[in-house]
């Protein structure tokens, strides 16, 4: 599955929250009209008009999280677009294998994927940054949620 980044100051204004007792993420406001979903580990990325606009789902609290010590790589603000055509109402897997979840308890940041990857990055929802490689593959997802 391939992605592309479009630079703009007008990003989706949702806020990602983390429900600690459930080890899960959710985005407010909730979007009810979706085209399809993408699965990244146990997270779901909601797509509308080929744009990722929402993150929700389980963070993998039952697995050992690695300590996150890296700083967020350089990134821009913009839109994270999905390339290709997908059928309405379905959920598609982004990766065939699970990727590691990292957490920095001091700063509140999570990284799902490779925290050392420094490719093209975009903040597409407030405090939610995706990094893709030259082929458009998702390499990591950085999230700083509001804890509830």
pLDDT in tens, 58-80: 986 555 678 999 999 999 999 99
Greatest extent of the chain over all pairs of C-alpha atoms, in Å: 41
Cβ–Cβ < 8 Å for 113, 141: yes
Domain that holds residue 62: 3-147
Give the total number of structural domains in the chain: 1
Tens digits of residue pLDDT in 10-69: 998 899 999 989 989 999 999 889 999 999 998 999 999 999 999 999 986 555 678 999
pTM strictly above 0.85: yes
What pLDDT is stored for residue 59 in this prediction? 80
Tell me the C-alpha distance between 141 and 55, whole Å: 11
Average pLDDT over residues 113-129: 96
Cβ–Cβ < 8 Å for 1, 82: yes
Backbone angles phi, psi at 21, to 5 degrees: -65, -25
Q: Is the peptide bond before 99 cis (omega within 30 degrees of 0)?
A: no
């Amino acid at each position: 599955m391939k992605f592309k980044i479009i630079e703009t100051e007008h990003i989706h204004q949702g806020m990602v929250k983390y429900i600690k007792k459930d080890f899960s993420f959710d985005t407010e406001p909730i979007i009810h009209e979706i085209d399809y979903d993408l699965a990244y580990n146990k997270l779901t990325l909601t797509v509308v008009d080929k744009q990722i606009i929402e993150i929700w789902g389980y963070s993998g609290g039952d697995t050992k999280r690695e300590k996150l010590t890296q700083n967020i790589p350089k990134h821009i603000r913009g839109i994270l677009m999905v390339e290709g055509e997908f059928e309405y109402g379905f959920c598609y897997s982004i990766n065939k294998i699970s990727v590691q979840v990292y957490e920095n308890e001091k700063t509140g940041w999570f990284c799902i994927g490779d925290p050392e990857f420094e490719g093209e990055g975009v903040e597409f929802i407030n405090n939610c940054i995706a990094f893709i490689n030259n082929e458009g593959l998702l390499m990591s997802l950085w999230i700083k949620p509001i804890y509830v």
